[in-house]
Each structure stands twice: as C-alpha cells, then as structure tokens.
C-alpha cells in the first residue's frame, strides 16, 4: 500500500516513521516533509495548504490512505475534498474540525453534552466582551480568540485590566487575522495539564495512553507559550482510573454530541485537559495528533499504525485488537532555534546527529530541518528536532534523551532542561 502524510513537523516525521514499519506499507510519502522524513520516507514538494495539489498527487500515485498532521488543512476541508474524489483520508471533515477551529462552537458543544469545562461566555464582537468585563466584578479571566491562532490566541489574565489589553491585542489583524473577531471569556482554572488523545471512527473510540506537553518556553513553565517544548507518556498526572473516567465522561459524550450535531467525528480527538480539584475539565479540543505528544506515543506504539488508521477510516474500529504499547515511558525533548517562539534565523548546519543516533533507545524526529543541495542538514524552523527516548523509568528515558541532545550542536540551539520532571514526584 501507499501512504501519504501531510505536514512537515516532528509529528509528521513520527507518523511516517511508524507507518513505514507497517507490513502493509510499500511506500510512504510526506508532503512537504523535512530532512528527517526524506531519510525515513519520501518527500513530495507540495505544501500542506495546497489542497488541489495534494488531491492531484494522491490520485496520480493511487495513494491508499492519506494521514493529515496539522489542523489548518483539516479546517480548510481537505477531508471533504479527498472523500468527494473517492480517496481515503484519516481526519475529521471541515464541519467536525470546528471543534478546534472555533472555540465558540467547542464550548457550546461541551455545554450541550454536559462535559466538564470552564464556565464561559461567548461574544460576537470584542466590543461586547469589553462591555461585559466592565460591568462585572474584577476577577481573573481567560480571554480566547474564537478562531485558529497557532496557540497564540489565549490570554490567562489576573484582572480586568489585563483582559482588556488582551481584547485590544486580538483586534490587531496583522497578528490574528479574523481569528479574534469573536471571543470567549472563560473562568480561570487551576491544576496540572495533560493531553488525552483518542482515535475514533465516529462510533468506537480507542483511547491512547495519557501524555503531558510543556507549552511555556523556559524551565519551570516560565516565558511565552510555544507549540510545545517537550512531552512524555504515560503521565502519572492521569492514572488509569482517571483515564477511564475521562473516556466515559468527556470523550464518549463528545463523540455522541458531534453525531447529534450532524457532524460525525472521525480522526484524532485530542482533549487538552486540566486536572482541577473537582476533577478533569476540558481546556480545549484539537482534531489531530499533538505535536510533540505524537512523538513519545509513536515511540511506544507496538501495534501496526496503518491497520488502526485504516480501520478508523473504514468504520471498523470495533473489530480491531486492543492496541499494544511498550510499557516503558518515552520522553521527547524539543531542540529549538535561538529566538523561538519569536523571530529566528534559519540555515544553520546541524552537527552530531549520527553520534546522537547511537544513544540506546533513542530516535531523533526532525521538525524544522531541511537538506541543502550539498546534502547538509540545516535548521529551517523554530522547533528543529524532537529527541525522543524510551527508558525503564521516566527518569531513565529523560537521561537517554538528554544524552542524545548533548551530542547535537548548531549555532543558537537550546532546549528546556526539565522535560518530564513533573512525573518525578509521583515516584516518592
Ligand atoms: P488552549 O489553547 O485553550 O489549550 O490554552 C492554552 C493554554 O492556556 C493552556 O494550556 C492553559 O495553560 C491555559 N488556559 C487555557 N484556558 C484556561 C483556563 N480556563 N484556566 C486556566 N488556564 C487556561
Ligand atoms: N502540543 C500541543 C498541540 O499539538 O497543540
């Protein structure tokens, strides 16, 4: 069979690497991919937002299954387009992807399904939100842009003044486009965060082991928010009984509510959760694999990914064997360019990749990398590599990952030093 992975990050490298291991796979293409996917699969020079180009390629190559990494093509309707053309594709339709692309839609759906989430109000304009804030008591509040804003559309505010500033900033069209025209104001919650992902065909749900992301840029969760500076799985923040509770009270009711809303959900349902004293609550839904959560998950998955994704697309997840997972934890440390998540330069040669690949139980997933015509691997993005390792304990996996990180050098390379430390107190 032939597979096509759409995207170019660490998530897509991990998906392509895992698909390549399937006995079903003859060829695995990645569009547009990076230097790592050029080694583990075959790159195709088509951008992830060139939906017509992707359809053309899939038809011409007779691709058996396309797997979409990022949210933007899903929100733009890539699944609807492929399906109309009779092409198999894993992911939600445009209407179902609104669970991620419209926070207002998501919040109303959660309310209708009685899924635990922060109390909220939605506003058709920023002006209405300003009036609401001015009229009520001054207390902490979270301001969220309704639309997709690459993780930058959320402001956790201490007081009214900060919230008004956030609303003002969302009006900057250069930064947020139309994403901030409508807004959500939300109760501020407290607790550890975790990511719980499930693969669903719209009727049956296969929940993956819980993971934890590290969104703030610097150690100790300080600094600006990023796409994610590292992740590990499983996380003791979500013990097994809690995972079952989340499945029953959060994921299943969401899938049912999407059905009732006439938007059956197929693909990855990714709950961004906060574990409050009242229990887990949904902060947001994503409609795709998490990046970097996907890297430790693929490292641990022992079942055939191709078989699972095909079963999801063909509506027969109820008939597959339970997924098999390596019991060992996996830790992924993201190495980033100087300046990220702000502006950064590209094109620095990356050294030490071969040496790093010799560290036991380790895989270097590429994200923002490119191959020069001379065959040199250089930096080409903010998040450059996801150095991922398995170990008998989280501490050992972390040790291997950082041992490999130490081998890798380029001008300005940096990473957080405390990935997975949140798991360590649970061992006491
Ligand atoms: P989101 O993109 O909605 O997951 O929000 C990004 C980050 O903002 C989350 O990972 C949380 O750290 C924080 N956040 C979002 N909503 C809330 C909330 N209601 N209370 C506290 N923190 C929040
Ligand atoms: N790791 C966060 C995300 O994929 O949205």
pLDDT single digits (tens) 140-168: 999 999 998 877 788 999 999 999 999 88
Q: Please provide the average confidence, as pLDDT, over all residues in the chain.
A: 95
Other residues' Cβ atoms within 10 Å of the Cβ of residue 147: 20
Among positive and negative, which fits the CA dihedral 157, 159, 162, 168? positive
Burial class (CB in 10 A: 0-12, 13-18, 19+), 225: middle
Which residues does ligand 2 sit against, CB inside 6 Å?
A: 213, 228, 286, 290-291, 293
DSSP assignment of 323-363 equals PPB-SS-EEEEEEE-TTTTS-----PBPB-HHHHHTSTTEE
Atom of ligand 1 nearest to the CA of 144: 3
Atom of ligand 1 nearest to the CA of 189: 20
pLDDT (0 to 100) of residue 344: 97
pLDDT (0 to 100) of residue 126: 84
Atom of ligand 2 nearest to the CA of 291: 4
- pLDDT tens digits, residue range 185-224? 999 999 999 999 999 999 999 999 999 999 999 999 999 8
Whole-number Å distance, alpha carbon 327 to ligand 1 midpoint, is: 30
Among positive and negative, which fits the CA dihedral 293, 299, 302, 303? positive
Whole-number Å distance, alpha carbon 136 to ligand 2 midpoint, is: 33
Tell me the whole-structure pTM to 2 decimals. 0.96
- pLDDT tens digits, residue range 227-282? 999 999 999 999 999 999 999 999 999 999 999 999 999 999 999 999 999 999 99
Atom of ligand 2 nearest to the CA of 11: 4
Place of tokens 């994921």: 251
Best mutation site among 103, 148, 293 for ligand 2 pocket (most ligand atoms within 8 Å of CB):
293
In sequence order, the 6+-apart residues with CB closer than 8 A to the CB of 245 are 279, 280
Whole-number Å distance, alpha carbon 362 to ligand 1 midpoint, is: 31
Q: Which two tokens stand for residue 422?
A: 């949140």
Helices and strands counted in the chain (H then E): 16, 22
Whole-number Å distance, alpha carbon 207 to ligand 1 midpoint, is: 22
Best mutation site among 272, 282, 283 for ligand 1 pocket (most ligand atoms within 8 Å of CB):
283
Q: Extract the runs of DSSP E, i.e. beta strands, from 201-341.
A: 205-207, 212-213, 216-218, 222-225, 230-233, 267-276, 279-286, 330-336
Residue 132 parent element (H or E): helix 126-135
The DSSP letter of residue 385 is: E
Whole-number Å distance, alpha carbon 373 to ligand 2 midpoint, is: 32
Which residues does ligand 1 sit against, CB inside 6 Å?
A: 118, 142, 151, 154, 156, 186-189, 193, 215, 272, 283-284
Q: What is the pLDDT along the chain (428 residues), one digit of tens a residue?
A: 999 999 999 999 999 999 999 999 999 999 999 999 999 999 999 999 999 999 999 999 999 999 999 999 999 999 999 999 999 999 999 999 999 999 999 999 999 999 999 999 999 888 888 888 999 888 999 999 999 887 778 899 999 999 999 988 887 777 888 887 889 999 999 999 999 999 999 999 999 999 999 999 999 999 988 999 999 999 999 999 999 999 999 999 999 999 999 999 999 999 999 999 999 999 999 999 999 999 999 999 999 999 999 999 999 999 999 999 999 999 999 999 999 999 999 999 999 999 999 999 999 999 999 999 999 999 999 999 999 999 999 999 999 999 999 999 999 999 999 999 999 877 54
Whole-number Å distance, alpha carbon 393 to ligand 1 midpoint, is: 29
The DSSP letter of residue 321 is: P
Whole-number Å distance, alpha carbon 384 to ligand 1 midpoint, is: 25
Edge-to-edge strand ranges of the sheet holding 154-157: 120-123, 183-187, 141-145, 154-157
């Amino acid at each position: 069979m032939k597979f096509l992975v759409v995207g170019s990050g660490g998530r897509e490298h991990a998906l392509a690497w895992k698909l390549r291991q399937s006995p079903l796979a003859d060829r695995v293409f990645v569009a547009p991919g990076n230097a790592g996917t050029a080694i583990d699969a075959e790159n195709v020079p088509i951008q992830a937002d060139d939906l017509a180009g992707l359809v053309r390629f899939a038809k011409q190559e007779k691709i058996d299954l396309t797997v979409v990494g990022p949210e933007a093509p899903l929100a733009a309707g890539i699944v609807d387009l492929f399906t109309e053309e009779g092409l198999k594709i894993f992911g939600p339709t445009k209407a179902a992807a609104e669970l991620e692309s419209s926070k207002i839609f998501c919040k109303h759906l959660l309310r209708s399904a009685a899924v635990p989430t922060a109390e909220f109000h939605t506003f058709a304009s920023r002006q209405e939100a300003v009036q609401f804030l001015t009229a009520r008591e001054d207390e902490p509040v979270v301001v969220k842009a309704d639309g997709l804003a690459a993780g930058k559309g959320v402001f956790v505010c201490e007081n009214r003044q900060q919230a008004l500033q956030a609303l003002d900033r969302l009006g900057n069209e250069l930064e947020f486009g139309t994403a901030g025209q409508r807004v959500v104001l939300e109760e501020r919650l407290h607790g550890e965060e975790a990511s719980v992902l499930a693969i669903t065909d719209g009727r049956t749900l296969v929940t993956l082991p819980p993971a934890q992301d590290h969104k703030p840029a610097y150690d100790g969760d300080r600094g600006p928010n990023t796409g994610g500076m590292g992740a590990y799985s499983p996380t003791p923040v979500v013990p097994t009984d809690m995972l079952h509770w989340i499945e029953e009270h959060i994921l299943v009711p969401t899938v049912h509510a999407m059905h009732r809303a006439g938007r059956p959900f197929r693909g990855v349902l990714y709950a961004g959760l906060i574990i409050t004293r009242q229990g887990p609550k949904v902060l947001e839904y994503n409609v795709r694999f998490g990046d970097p959560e996907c890297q430790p998950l693929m490292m641990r998955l022992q079942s055939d990914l191709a078989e699972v994704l095909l079963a999801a697309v063909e509506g027969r997840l109820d008939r597959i064997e339970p997924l098999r997972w390596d019991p060992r934890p996996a830790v992924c440390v993201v190495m980033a360019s100087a300046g990220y998540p702000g502006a950064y330069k590209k094109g620095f040669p990356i050294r030490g990749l071969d040496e790093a690949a010799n560290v036991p139980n380790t895989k270097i997933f590429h994200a923002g990398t490119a191959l020069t015509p001379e065959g040199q691997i250089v930096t080409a993005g903010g998040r450059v590599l996801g150095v991922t390792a398995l170990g008998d304990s989280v501490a050992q996996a972390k040790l291997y990952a950082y041992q490999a990180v130490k081998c890798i050098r380029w001008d300005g390379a940096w990473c957080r030093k405390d990935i997975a430390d949140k798991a360590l107190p649970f061992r006491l």
